[in-house]
Structure 1
Amino acid sequence: MNTLLHWVIDILNSTALSGFIMTNAYLFPFLEMAHFVGLCLLFGALIVVDLRVIGLAGSVPIQRVDLFVRFALIGFAINLMSGALFVIGDSDRYLVNIAFWGKMGLIALAGLNTAYFVRRIKPQMDAGVDTAALTGDARVVAWLSLTLWTCVIILGRLIPYVEDL
C-alpha cells in the first residue's frame, strides 16, 4: 500500500495542474475560500433539513426542504471540486494524512446515509407526511447526518495538525 500511495503521489506531483496550483499565489487561497463557502452551503442547508426531519425546525414548511437540499448539493459540488484540487496540488500533505482518510471515510458514510434518506425518507416528505408522522428511522438518519458532517468538519480542520500515516 505504501508503495502504491507514493506512486500516486509522484504521479500527481508531476502534473502541470499540481505545479500550477502550488505556484500560483492566488489559487490556493481562492480554493480555501471556495471550500469554506461550499462547506457553509452544505452544512447550513443540512442543518435546516435535518432539524426539520427531527422536528426542531417546525417553522420550515416540509415542501421547502427541497430548496435546502439543492443548496446542500451545490455546496457539496463546490467542496468536491476544490477538495480534489487540494489533493492534486498538495498530495504530499493529504494522501499520507490519517485525518484526511478519516474525513474521506466519513464522507462515504454520509453519502450512504444520504442515499438512504433519498430512497426511504424523502418520498414520505414529498407525499406530504408531516414531520411528526415520519418514521423513527428518519430521525436516526437526520441525527446521523448531523453527526457525520460535524465529524467531517472536525477532521478537515485537523488535517494540518496530525501526523502522517
Structure 2
Amino acid sequence: MYSLINWVIETLNATALSSFIMGNAWFFPMLEMLHFFGLCLLFGSLLIVDLRVIGLAPRVPLSRVEIFVRVTLVGFAINIATGTLFVIGDSDRYLVNIAFWLKMGVIVLAGLNTAWFVRRIRPQIDAGLEGAALSADARVVAGASLVFWTAVIILGRMIPYVEE
C-alpha cells in the first residue's frame, strides 16, 4: 500500500496542475479561503436543518428550513473542488497524513448518514410530519450529522499539525 501511495504522490506532483497550484503564491491561499467559505455554507446551513430536526424552534415548519439543504450542497461542492485541488497540489502533505485519511473516513460516514436522511427522514418531512411525529431515528440522524461534520472540521484543522 505504501508504494501505491508513493506512486500516486509522484504522479500528482508531476502534473502541470500541481505545479500551478504550488507555484503561485496567491492560488493556495485563495483555495483555503474558498474551502473555508464552502465549509461555512455547509456547516452553517446543516446546523439549521439538523437542530430543527432535533427539535429546536418547533414553531418553524421543517419545510421552511429545508431550503438550507441546497445551501449545504453548494458548500459541499465547493469543498470537494477545493479539497481535490489541495490534494493535487500538495499530495506530499495530504496522502501520508493520518488526520486527512480519518477526515475522509468521517466524510464517508457523513455521506452514509445523509443517504439515510434522504431515504428515511426526508419522505416524512415531505409528508408534512413535524416534531414528535417524526420517527425517533430522525433525531439520531440529525445528531450524528452534527457529530460527523464537527469531527470533519476538527480533523481538517489537524492536518497541518500532523506529520507522517
CA deviation digits over 1:45-92, x for unaligned, max 9? 110010010001324321123210000000000000000000000000
Q: For this pair of structures, how many residues does the alignment match? A: 164
> 2:152: which partner in 1?
152
Runs of 5+ consecutive residues of structure 2 not aligned to the other structure: none
Q: What are the residue-to-residue correspondences of 1:70-85 with 2, within 5 Å?
A: 70-85=70-85
Are positions 1:14 and 2:23 aligned together?
Answer: no
CA distance in 1, matches of 2:23, 2:60: 46
CA deviation digits over 1:104-139, x for unaligned, max 9? 000000000000000000010011001221111001
Kept after mapping to 1: 8 A contact 2:113/2:144? yes
> 1:137: which partner in 2?
137
Kept after mapping to 2: 8 A contact 1:39/1:79? yes
| Identical-pair percentage | 71
Q: TM-score, normalization: structure 1?
A: 0.97
Classify the secondary structure of the residue corresponding to 2:57: coil
Moved over 3 A (4+): none
CA distance in 1, matches of 2:153, 2:119: 25
Q: TM-score, normalization: structure 2?
A: 0.98
Kept after mapping to 2: 8 A contact 1:48/1:57? no
* Letter matched to residue 50 of structure 1: D
CA distance in 1, matches of 2:119, 2:80: 22
CA distance in 2, matches of 1:115, 1:89: 30
> 2:27: which partner in 1?
27
Kept after mapping to 1: 8 A contact 2:61/2:130? no
Kept after mapping to 1: 8 A contact 2:97/2:162? yes
CA distance in 2, matches of 1:126, 1:63: 7
Are positions 1:116 and 2:116 aligned together?
Answer: yes
> 1:51: which partner in 2?
51
Runs of 5+ consecutive residues of structure 1 not aligned to the other structure: none
Classify the secondary structure of the residue corresponding to 2:147: helix
Kept after mapping to 1: 8 A contact 2:45/2:71? yes
